[in-house]
A and B are shown apart, each in its own frame.
Chain A
Amino acid sequence: MTSRLQTFLRSSIGKKLLMALTGLSLIGFLVVHLAGNLTLFVDSDGSAMAAYAQKLADLGPLLWIAEAGLLLLFVVHIGLGMRAAMENRDARPSRYKDAAPKGGRSAASVTMIATGVVIGIFVVIHVIDFRLMKGLLAHPDPATLAKVVVARLSTPLGASIYFIAMIALGVHLWHAFQSALQTLGLRHPAYDACIRKTGAGLAVVVAGLFAAFPVLCLIYKGNWPWS
């Protein structure tokens, strides 16, 4: 039985399936992460975000398990992507003079590796910055947590890094959702348009809302006019 799974996972289709499943799981994580982040905008004194952070911190060991799972998702997804990219380069040793698309590709579909690399670099910076160095979750102090986040995102450098990464995320997601479903074999003329629109909508909403953080922080410096 083990060899059956090994054979599957070593095949090009098996690896793609794993790529799709880890990708969809990461989309799920993004949505939850986004929902948590939005607590920043609930009030100007940061107590909503602190309460959310406290809940996460209260999970104790469960949080570590979740984070370990998350790390595994990233490692598998990125590892498979890099490996596929290398295999694909080997599959065409000599290039065409000028390959001209005939209408199949999109800007998003042919830049998955590039946008993936940008997102990957951002994730490393982001985790070091917000998770490891500041230890925000360890001390969810209402007085400082939201302020630290706003301070980070309202510097031109911090905001630019965040904003550019979120654009890359949006482009990545534009292709990702429908591609994952295609890999899972979930395709039918009756649902094609719906799947494409869902993927595009997901990309715009998720990346758009994430990108709104640095923009709003730059403009309002944490004093939201609506709260």
Chain B
Amino acid sequence: MSAGHDDHGTGGLDLTLHIWRQESSEAEGRFETYPLHGVSPDMSFLEMLDVLNEQLTLEGRDPVAFDHDCREGICGSCGMMINGQAHGPERETATCQLHMRRFKSGDTIFIEPFRARAFPLLKDLVVDRSAFDRIIAKGGFISVNTGSARDANSLPAAKQDADLSMDAAACIGCGACVAACPNAAAMLFVGAKVSHLGLLPQGKPERSRRVLAMVAQMDAEGFGNCGNIYECEAACPKAISVENIARLNRDYLLASATERPSSAQGEGA
């Protein structure tokens, strides 16, 4: 692969980065400007930030804090607003899989944290996404007997349902949907989790209780209201469909109407 068309033959891109710096959740934040030279077009966006941080560290300055882990697009740790877009300009791509060849030498890049009341900022580009964990804790599980594994295929699942469930299960919980939504709503995330588990036979027993509990937690976390704007789907690195939001609406309505109070379920809980 050629080393990019606009790197001036000097082996790299020259960039001007404007990065949101904020000491802590209480501190005042501001953009700081960092020129960066000779960035390889083959670097990922995070590797570019690594290079910047090396440089800052050598200069005795505080490196930019950002979340990352697997760097192969499956953990959901990384995530930042790059020029006003969650995970940057590439579709279906997490920040770690975004490569610098997507940019031109001379580009100015604004890098901001995901912004939402439900995702309080911790430092620089790092936000606390535990709100998602608390939603998951409300129903992101299935109840099975432990012990030896069941026979494969002993539980028939329709191919179509299995496919839809797997599509929803691709959600890595990165929070780009919330970040990109003009209303900071979390409906795509919750829709994906509810669909992922509720479509399969293993997740059916808790389907009603799950959707009620997860939506209650979502509302309690202070996310915004869904306006069916669909910016979430466009920003999702896994292209989770807003069809999952329709399913969430359907399931919630049905569960609200039919779920029995737990005292009437004879479960003693």
Contacts and interface: CB of A to CB of B under 8 A. Distances in A.
A187 interface: yes
Interface of A: 4, 7-8, 11-17, 84, 87-88, 90-106, 109-110, 112, 175, 178-179, 182-189
A105 B182 contact: yes
Interface in B208-236: 215-216, 218-219, 222-235
A114 to B, nearest CB: 13
Interface of B: 31, 81, 83-86, 91, 110, 112, 115-118, 180, 182-185, 215-216, 218-219, 222-235, 242-243, 245-253, 256
Contacts of B253: 8, 13, 17, 184-185
A104 B230 contact: yes
A91 B117 contact: yes
B243 A104 contact: no
Nearest to B219: A12
A96 B115 contact: yes
A179 B84 contact: no
B246 A186 contact: yes
A94 to B, nearest CB: 5
Contacts of B230: 104-105, 109
Contacts of B83: 98, 100
B82 to A, nearest CB: 9
10 contacts: A13-B253, A15-B225, A91-B225, A97-B110, A98-B84, A104-B235, A105-B231, A109-B230, A182-B249, A184-B253
B183 A102 contact: no
Nearest to A108: B229
Contacts of A14: 252, 256
A11 B180 contact: no
A13 to B, nearest CB: 5
A87 B251 CA distance: 23
B112 to A, nearest CB: 6
B245 A91 contact: no
Q: Which of B184, B228, B249 has the most CB of A within 10 A?
A: B228
A224 B52 CA distance: 73
A12 B215 contact: yes
B189 to A, nearest CB: 13
Contacts of A94: 115
A219 B186 CA distance: 50
A99 B234 contact: no
Nearest to B83: A100
B249 A110 contact: no
A97 B85 CA distance: 11
